[in-house]
Structure 1
């Protein structure tokens, strides 16, 4: 039978400076027995706490021993069980972030109370067990049972403590390359597909250790692929968990998918310094770890893979989500007040993961790359294995750079929203005679942000002239224009160093439209396209032309208009899927085709792809690709969809296949089916 509970025997040691009642967090499970400083006592749980009475405590060191039992479940619990339907194996893993360690064992469950953990785990002898540190000893304790003891950790917060257990297999590794674990049913796939993950992590380890002037802070570094992990990854100290699907792709991966995987690996790796070595004091400063991890992931990838035009990808992948939210009344500051731990999960979102790294990129431009780096080195050195706040980081930046940053931090970190930057310019003859910049809050407040940007004077016959401009007030007339040629257009955010909405003035918009196809630098061209889009519609940024077209046709136009355009889009997508120059584009058009198809001819084409009569050149469809096609056929009521669905279930009886089939059937346009799924949800 699958494990339903786990029992534990725990000793907690802590020091008291003053005698007063102590609250130990324990929010789930059963307390079986307890003793404090050698004396048995009965503890009552109230509001998720166990109160240790003052009269049983003493100044200095105290020891409490507790026996307890906690649940293990397939979902909704911090100790999660995964049943592998491919080979009937069982896996158990922990996920405590941000405040669920106290649902697995009694503890002081807040990030600013760090401790040293020692784990002993009894499990079947065929299982591999993984935790934050290396195995210290192993002993047989019963029939087919083995107890594994791990070395004591360095000081870490409770949410960074972790365990994983099950018949994991370890990929072969070379010296200096992190270990990677995977469930045994996926071992052969991982051997073929996951070695690049180990390589990018090894290169990241070397780069980050040098960049921070701080060796890897923990005794070892493992990565564990966890099927169905709730997040893309979780940065447990010395043992990062990665969502299996983010490494072993369920659909045919485009090059962009592989880059997303690398960013994920480097993001979680950066956390070993920003988040694990130095942890935010409270979840108000969640962005201190998440924003820096995201920014440094791109910084690292840009260095180890310079051919990838990483900062273009940063602009495309990071900032649109933040811009969308920051242009609405519901946006929040990067710094968010979190009064209680139960509210900590609300702090996660695009402002932390997308705006914060973009603002940090701007700060690196403001200070200069070397002073930015030296500031981070100082911050990590002074707070190693401790906790810190935003003010601690600001002070490090100020001490190294000599620049006052209080106003910068106040506006960018503690104020919500963003500025819109407008440019005005004129020429006399062939020379630029006047250039001025102004800003206003997109939400209409009187806020004024300190901005540093790289402004470009662009020409048809030679490279742009780049100028650094610092705007500290509402407007600025740019001095020192003497001798500057009259440009064809001006763009105020070359290289994307500043954060905000940068619209093209009317003259520049016309110049960009005339010149855009001749601009060879793809990053500059992307920035200009983004600005043009902002000029058309300032409430959102396009992520994909195809998905935007599909959304428009399926949701915003009349049936008559849709019937006119959908066949043309289907034909275009099918043609590009078959004849685009590279596999990445063919994958993009394939995904666009499955998302936009609804005509009988188009649905027939999807059917041919499932049967093998039609193939995407150079692309092997994976299980989820096939199930997405089946879902599309079901959603549009194709006459053969139900029989195709039944056949696909027989073709793919794997654990993943069963999940995909369940999701696919929900697409059937039948009231009884919708009611069934609604009742399942309840």
Structure 2
């Protein structure tokens, strides 16, 4: 007993000594200090992961990680990241010796005396955590971005410790698995189970590890000697058959285009697609196992032009990540935008060849500018490049700014440098840092050598600082000047940029180019009759119309022949609406006329998006009731005039969304309940489910069982499950809705995040006239938990759908009191809430008209 006690005291001393050495670094999450120390100490990492996947989601998964690495200094302990309970770690060995370890603040610590300088082998047997495992009855998949590998597997969960990873997976015989590597050995382990072993990957970061296991069907195609497989669970054979060819076409085209652009062959061992029903994201770029949301790839019989384009852009985006993000990775997640901006930037270029008849500058404008403005117009706007001290907050780096403002900024960079020089710089960047990590500063250094501009100063203003300028054309002493000022500060900052505006005199339209380099500069000797302050996708900011030009634009926007001018003016008119320069009624009248007179599907899509937003968010009940007949009629009339089925489907979906009149609801009942066809368009089950929910929201004659009854005839299991899940939110009994909302505090009820967001969008829908505002505070209180347990986009989306239905002083007070009651609330989440709250404040002012 005495010997045992002495041994335990020695072990305790060793562990406490190690913990003392790491005291500053071993905070929860992955601190930057810990990451920097490990980067200096550890190298040559390779993981082999073994796991036994049972056929029941109720049985935990036993696993083993074998990690080879080189360690420089053994006076310091080896610190793995692992969010786990002590009893979930079965055994740890270092160099074949059993290790006494500690678990401290989400880290597994191995004392240095068990290690040796140079090569080491660490074996950890454990029960897998399920923080980032998405387990369903017939399949599961890992999703580790940005720092969630550590919630499942002990690892060094930082992007700059790249490693090779391989897998050996035991599973039911009828299942298959897709990982980063290729399967090379399959063995029968019992009458009902098998083991598949996979080849080692190229060096990748932990957030790119992937394994999906379950009942997946496989379709393969080989071109130019490369085989690509698509794994899916789609049961609609017609939907599958019409989608397979275009999906493979777009994947192979994207790969070929990127190889030509970068001069680097596809840098990984394989490219497989894993199509997952209701996947949290649209896609995720794991090399060798690219995840896609199944419904984004397998489209309806009459897809809109926007849906077809979005599918191609999604595939191009994820494929571009193979070079930008996977091959060359940011050093720290504060630079996550580097990989996202290039994925979007390249995707925009790739789809130009696939859709030659589209106006791609218009696509760029309508895709990026409205979304970027939605955050950049707020006082809580974040810069593109953000600060990050701990990876546990890395999810806050993601958002609208990096996905939409960053491509706009990159477009400016290309115009500054020229497309050829930018391409040369990117080729050098990829060649220099292949299978390594690089920062934005590393890229700017390469590009500066090829440019005549001060790119560091340009980057400081556009990348490192938030917000946008207010830009106005003004008349002074009979001359025309342009002024720019920061939207929310008195600083002297200048957003250097090139813009294109239009002068109008006697119905003659003349476009002019302008290089905006100062806060105020002369433009012309005299002011034109009307001025459209921005008419393409070059200028960025809040372009304020003078009152006369504003009236001219509202009355003529749907008459111009140039679609890019029309699109740009619509984007900037909407910003003037939110700024308070236009009433919602006048804006809806303009949109109604635009529906009637605009034929371009890209523009109609923009008009329909604005129409739905202004109708529901910016208008009060009285205005909606008054405008509904006119708007419904305009959409139905247009629907019967256009030839393209895709445009008809766009108009049907918009009409179903805003239908409020007795006649409109009657017609909607016929479409949803009687399956009556509209305008010869074959609506998908997903379309009809959305329309059924919109009907349930607005039709008081329907009983609580309506959605459940409709779901019984739905063949698509995912759609049927979603309808069953959300049905309680349409109940006439508040107690049923109360129970549903309260149930969301249980993690099990939040597993299908897209279903949860759909339900919350209808609970907080503006149609309720803020009747459900009682749920607002509870939703805010749950946001922090959602960040800790959900995927990276979930907290932001949760806040957006929660606040989307409000525009009152009471809602503003609730949020204000929430922050008062939570004075140390996480700043990143507070910023997300304030970004969404901006619209609540604007809507409150607009509804006064």
Give the TM-score normalised by the residue count of structure 2.
Answer: 0.73
Q: Residues 295-314 of structure 1 correspond to what in structure 2 (within 5 A)?
A: 295-314=345-364
Q: Hey, what does 1:589 align to over in structure 2?
A: 651
**Aligned match for 2:428, one of 378, 388, 399:** 378
Q: Hey, what does 1:521 align to over in structure 2?
A: 562
Q: State the shift of 1:565 in Å.
A: 3.0
Q: Hey, what does 2:141 align to over in structure 1?
A: 93
Whether the 8 Å CA contact 1:167–1:184 is kept in 2: the answer is: no
| 2:189 matches 1:141 | yes
1:110-130 Cα distance to aligned partner (Å, 9 max, x none): 101101112111222332221
Q: Residues 110-189 of structure 1 correspond to what in structure 2 (within 5 A)?
A: 110-176=158-224, 178-183=228-233, 185=235, 189=239
Whether the 8 Å CA contact 2:172–2:192 is kept in 1: the answer is: yes
| 2:573 matches 1:532 | yes
Whether the 8 Å CA contact 2:502–2:535 is kept in 1: the answer is: no
1:135-192 Cα distance to aligned partner (Å, 9 max, x none): 2222223223222222111110011111112222222413147322112635663232
Larger proportion of helix: 2
Q: 1:345 to 1:643 in 2, by over 3 A?
A: closer
Q: Residues 34-433 of structure 1 correspond to what in structure 2 (within 5 A)?
A: 34-72=92-130, 77-83=131-137, 90-176=138-224, 178-183=228-233, 185=235, 189-249=239-299, 253-424=303-474
Aligned partners of 2:578 and 2:150: how far apart in 1?
47
Whether the 8 Å CA contact 1:458–1:487 is kept in 2: the answer is: yes
SS of the residue corresponding to residue 118 of structure 1 reads strand
Whether the 8 Å CA contact 1:285–1:390 is kept in 2: the answer is: yes
Aligned partners of 1:22 and 1:452: how far apart in 2?
49
**Count of paired positions:** 662
**Aligned match for 1:608, one of 657, 664, 670:** 670
SS of the residue corresponding to residue 411 of structure 1 reads helix
Aligned partners of 2:214 and 2:704: how far apart in 1?
37
Whether the 8 Å CA contact 2:70–2:119 is kept in 1: the answer is: yes
SS of the residue corresponding to residue 62 of structure 1 reads strand
1:284-322 Cα distance to aligned partner (Å, 9 max, x none): 111101122112211221244232222212211222121
Q: State the shift of 1:408 in Å.
A: 0.8
**Aligned match for 2:697, one of 632, 635, 647:** 635
| 2:622 matches 1:622 | no
Q: State the shift of 1:337 in Å.
A: 0.7
| 2:740 matches 1:681 | no
SS of the residue corresponding to residue 116 of structure 1 reads strand
Q: State the shift of 1:276 in Å.
A: 0.4
Moved more, 494-503 or 96-105: 494-503
1:337-395 Cα distance to aligned partner (Å, 9 max, x none): 11111100111111111111111111111111111111111111111111111111111
Q: Hey, what does 1:86 align to over in structure 2?
A: none
SS of the residue corresponding to residue 334 of structure 1 reads coil
Q: Hey, what does 1:470 align to over in structure 2?
A: 515
Aligned partners of 1:22 and 1:174: how far apart in 2?
44
Q: State the shift of 1:557 in Å.
A: 5.3
| 2:74 matches 1:13 | no
Moved more, 417-426 or 198-207: 417-426
Q: State the shift of 1:241 in Å.
A: 0.3
Q: State the shift of 1:131 in Å.
A: 1.1
Q: 1:489 to 1:397 in 2, by over 3 A?
A: farther
Whether the 8 Å CA contact 1:627–1:664 is kept in 2: the answer is: no
Moved more, 132-141 or 557-566: 557-566
Moved more, 571-580 or 173-182: 571-580
Whether the 8 Å CA contact 1:578–1:616 is kept in 2: the answer is: no
Whether the 8 Å CA contact 1:453–1:494 is kept in 2: the answer is: no
Q: Hey, what does 1:500 align to over in structure 2?
A: 541
Q: 1:550 to 1:361 in 2, by over 3 A?
A: closer
1:566-611 Cα distance to aligned partner (Å, 9 max, x none): 3333333344344443223322222222222233332221111124
1:13-41 Cα distance to aligned partner (Å, 9 max, x none): 11112221120111136111111012111
1:382-432 Cα distance to aligned partner (Å, 9 max, x none): 11111111111111110122432111111111111112223347999xxxx
**Aligned match for 1:573, one of 621, 635, 640:** 635
Q: State the shift of 1:194 in Å.
A: 3.3
Q: State the shift of 1:477 in Å.
A: 3.5
SS of the residue corresponding to residue 308 of structure 1 reads coil
Identify unmatched segments of 5+ residues in structure 1: 84-89, 429-433
SS of the residue corresponding to residue 139 of structure 1 reads strand
Aligned partners of 2:558 and 2:238: how far apart in 1?
46
Aligned partners of 2:421 and 2:386: how far apart in 1?
27
Aligned partners of 1:126 and 1:79: how far apart in 2?
20
Q: Hey, what does 1:87 align to over in structure 2?
A: none
Whether the 8 Å CA contact 2:502–2:534 is kept in 1: the answer is: no
| 2:82 matches 1:26 | yes
SS of the residue corresponding to residue 185 of structure 2 reads strand
Q: State the shift of 1:327 in Å.
A: 1.5
Q: State the shift of 1:71 in Å.
A: 4.3
Q: State the shift of 1:556 in Å.
A: 5.8
Whether the 8 Å CA contact 1:82–1:227 is kept in 2: the answer is: no
Q: Hey, what does 2:491 align to over in structure 1?
A: 446
1:468-524 Cα distance to aligned partner (Å, 9 max, x none): x4333323335xx89xx9977655645312322234456765775676555322112
Aligned partners of 1:555 and 1:501: how far apart in 2?
20
Give the TM-score normalised by the residue count of structure 1.
Answer: 0.89
Whether the 8 Å CA contact 2:364–2:537 is kept in 1: the answer is: no
Q: State the shift of 1:252 in Å.
A: 5.7
Q: 1:426 to 1:586 in 2, by over 3 A?
A: farther
Aligned partners of 1:561 and 1:514: how far apart in 2?
20
SS of the residue corresponding to residue 178 of structure 1 reads strand
Identify unmatched segments of 5+ residues in structure 2: 1-54, 582-586, 592-604, 746-849
Aligned partners of 2:567 and 2:297: how far apart in 1?
28
Q: 1:265 to 1:399 in 2, by over 3 A?
A: same
Moved more, 504-513 or 416-425: 504-513
Aligned partners of 1:96 and 1:601: how far apart in 2?
49
Aligned partners of 2:675 and 2:172: how far apart in 1?
48
Q: 1:649 to 1:188 in 2, by over 3 A?
A: same
Aligned partners of 1:152 and 1:557: how far apart in 2?
57
1:416-461 Cα distance to aligned partner (Å, 9 max, x none): 1112223347999xxxxx6543311111331423423143555679
